[in-house]
Amino acid sequence: MLFWQILIDGFAISSLYALGATGFTLIFGVTGVLNLSHGAIMVAAAVAAWAERSSRLAVDIAGRLAARLDGAAVRAAFLEWLIREIRALPSAVRQAEVASGAPFEAISATALDPADQERCRALIGEAFGAQPQIAFRTDPGLIAGLELHGPHLVVSNSWRADLARILADLAHDDRR
C-alpha cells in the first residue's frame, strides 16, 4: 500500500515540476525573456487552495458539532428568531404574502409534533397579522432551525444558512 501511495505522490509532484518547466520553456521560447514568476504563482495558488479547503473544513466541523445540539430549547430559540425575522419585514410585504392566499411551508430539521406545529402556526399567524395556511416538512439538511417558504418569500433561519453565510464571509476575508 505504501509503495502505491509513494508512486502516486511521485507522479503528482513530477507533473507539477513538468508543468512549471513547460511554462518556463514556453515563455522563454516565445519572448526570449527568462520569466521566473511561475514559482510565485504556484505558491499563491497553493495558498488560495489551502485557505478555501481550511474554510470548508472549519464549517464542516462546526456543522457536525451543531447537529448534536438539536432539542426543545434550540427549536424554541429558532422559532423566536423566525418570528423576529417575519416581524422585521415591512408591513406591506407581510400583508401581500398573506393576501395572496397561497400556502406557506415551514421546514424544520426534525419532525415537529402536532402541539409544536400548532404553536408555530399561532406565532407565525400573529407575526403576519393573519392566519396563513402552513404545511410542515422536514429537511435534516438544515442541521437545526426553522425556515419559512412562501410564494414570494423565504426566511432562512437555520444552522445550514448560518454556516453558508460564515463560509461566504471566510471566502471574502481580506485578512488572509
**What pLDDT, on the 0 to 100 scale, is given for residue 147?**
94
The whole-model pTM stands at: 0.64
**What pLDDT, on the 0 to 100 scale, is given for residue 79?**
92
Is the Cβ–Cβ distance between 139 and 65 less than 8 Å? no
**What pLDDT, on the 0 to 100 scale, is given for residue 175?**
59
Mean pLDDT of 38-49: 86
Least confident of 61-70, 82-91, 103-112: 61-70
**What pLDDT, on the 0 to 100 scale, is given for residue 70?**
63
**What pLDDT, on the 0 to 100 scale, is given for residue 21?**
87
Please give the residue that has the higher pLDDT: either 145 or 137. 137
Q: How far apart are CA 94 and CA 130, in angstroms?
A: 9
**What pLDDT, on the 0 to 100 scale, is given for residue 138?**
93
pLDDT in tens, 159-170: 888 888 888 887
The distance in angstroms from the start CA to the end CA of the chain is 37
Q: How far apart are CA 82 and CA 87, in angstroms?
A: 9
pLDDT of residue 151 exceeding 90: no
Any idea which residue has 402536532 for its cell?
114
Question: What are the b/e assignments for 129-151, b being 16+ CB within 10 Å?
Answer: eeebebebeeeeebbbbbbbebe
Query: Mean pLDDT in the chain?
Result: 87
pLDDT of residue 121 exceeding 90: yes
Least confident of 17-21, 60-64, 69-73, 88-92: 69-73
**What pLDDT, on the 0 to 100 scale, is given for residue 162?**
86
**What pLDDT, on the 0 to 100 scale, is given for residue 174?**
62
Mean pLDDT of 5-18: 92
Q: How far from 93 is each of 77, 97, 127, 150, CA to CA, in Å? A: 24, 6, 12, 11
Any idea which residue has 397579522 for its cell?
129
